[in-house]
Structure 1
Amino acid sequence: MDKYQVLRDTGTNAPNYDLETEDIINWLSKWDAQYGISIDNVEEDALDIFFLNLPEDLTELAIDIYKLCPDTIDQHFGCIGDLLEEMEASEQDIPENFQEFVKDIDFNDENYGFELLKRSLTLNKSVGLWWD
């Protein structure tokens, strides 16, 4: 069975980024050829990708992920600095594993979200994509 049929059946798309189902499948097919992927949790506007192999330098992949789904940075990894500030301001405990995840990240660098995406890929070998 075609691993992408579930996207067709679900109608996974990102109209706010002018991406139709086949556009998303083209990106995923490219990554599958390069790294090997599996997909899960497919919805109309979201899915999870699991990478079987990752390159040593994740920069190109992180940029590709951003091109396909800007929300991975703009609404997630690129907002973690603000989240930490809010947690500290409200005197919330920051979990140890989260502290370790952000250790040595320069939140003044406008590209810190890409560094966190790359760290997450290294740790989890996966990324969630969503388009809203």
Structure 2
Amino acid sequence: MNSRFTGVKTDSGCRQAVSRFILYIMLFFSCSGQTESNGYPLTKQEEAITDSLHLDPPVIQELRKYSQAPVAPFHYSRSKMYANNKVTEPDPIRLPGIIFNETEDNAYELIYKLKDGLKSKGYSIFKVELTGEAGKGEHSVGIVKETDPYRILKQMGTDGINYDITNDSLLTIIKDLDKKYQLELIGASGDYCEFIIHQPPADWNLLAKEVYTVCPDAVEQGAGSLEELAKELRNTRRLYFWWD
């Protein structure tokens, strides 16, 4: 009789030990997941931005994995005024999103790392403008709550007005190029836009001529020749328009 009772107690003790072990495992993974999701807590300022613009906090938390640059509500003005070491932006464009500064190399790296994940959440990331001397300064980068590239270009008012290219005509041009080269927007401002080329052309020189026709400055104030522009397009797999 004693042995039977002993056996029952031992069997019950084993079950309790197994249950405790399973509970510990569940708690461990639960805590691990919580630590990961809370590994990049928002600052008070960032919380205020997400609350006021109805943005998803994970957007900034994802950015924090790769950059600690201070963020601000998205704003852009084509006509900046500089005086007494201060910058004034008349009639700025404000979109639901954030903007921050990064070096050019870091800006591209961030865009390539974050663009797909942000798009799945309903956001786009793109370069906005150079904020310092070319090759030395920083670039502003925006993350906005919008995934339609044409809507972003419309909201940013992008055009090549120096060459009589209005915003509407530019969108028509880009839609035509998009059909041929599967473009993905990664840059937008008042006089600039940039795209990843997902469908490489059979003839890069022909693409360079298409770019030059729309934006002569890409050669005359950029690559220097159609041949060099073709090489740049092929090497970077990026197409850009920039009108000075």
Superposition TM-score, scaled by structure 1 size: 0.69
Aligned residue for 1:51? 197
Q: Are 1:28 and 2:174 counterparts?
A: yes
Structure 2 residue runs without a partner (length 5+): 1-146
| Sequence identity (%) | 28
Q: CA RMSD in A?
A: 1.2
Aligned length: 98
Q: Distance in 1 between matches of 2:162 and 2:203?
A: 30
Q: Distance in 1 between matches of 2:169 and 2:186?
A: 18
Question: Which runs of structure 1 show a deviation greater than 4 angstroms over 4 or more consecutive aligned residues?
Answer: none
Q: Secondary structure at the match of 2:149?
A: coil
Question: 1:3: how far off?
Answer: 2.0
Matches within 5 A, 1:20-99: 20-78=166-224
Aligned residue for 2:104? none
Aligned residue for 2:234? 122
Question: 1:7: how far off?
Answer: 0.8
Q: Distance in 2 between matches of 1:57 and 1:46?
A: 24
Q: Larger relative CO (CA 8 A, sep 6+): 1 or 2?
A: 1
Superposition TM-score, scaled by structure 2 size: 0.39
Question: 1:59: how far off?
Answer: 2.1
Question: 1:52: how far off?
Answer: 0.3
Question: 1:65: how far off?
Answer: 0.2
Q: Secondary structure at the match of 2:200?
A: coil
For the pair shown, the structure with the greater C-alpha radius of gyration is: 2
Structure 1 residue runs without a partner (length 5+): 79-112
Aligned residue for 2:151? 5
Q: Which amino acid letter does the alignment assign opposite residue 179 of structure 2?
A: A
Q: Distance in 1 between matches of 2:149 and 2:187?
A: 13
Higher strand content, 1 or 2 = 2
Q: Secondary structure at the match of 1:29?
A: helix
Q: Distance in 1 between matches of 2:178 and 2:187?
A: 17
Question: 1:19: how far off?
Answer: 0.7
Q: Which amino acid letter does the alignment assign opposite residue 169 of structure 2?
A: D
Q: Distance in 1 between matches of 2:198 and 2:148?
A: 18
Question: 1:13: how far off?
Answer: 1.1
Question: 1:62: how far off?
Answer: 0.9
> What CA deviation, in whole Å up to 9, does each residue of 1:37-69 have, x standing for no partner?
011220011111211011221122111100111
Q: Which amino acid letter does the alignment assign opposite residue 231 of structure 2?
A: R
Q: Distance in 2 between matches of 1:52 and 1:38?
A: 7
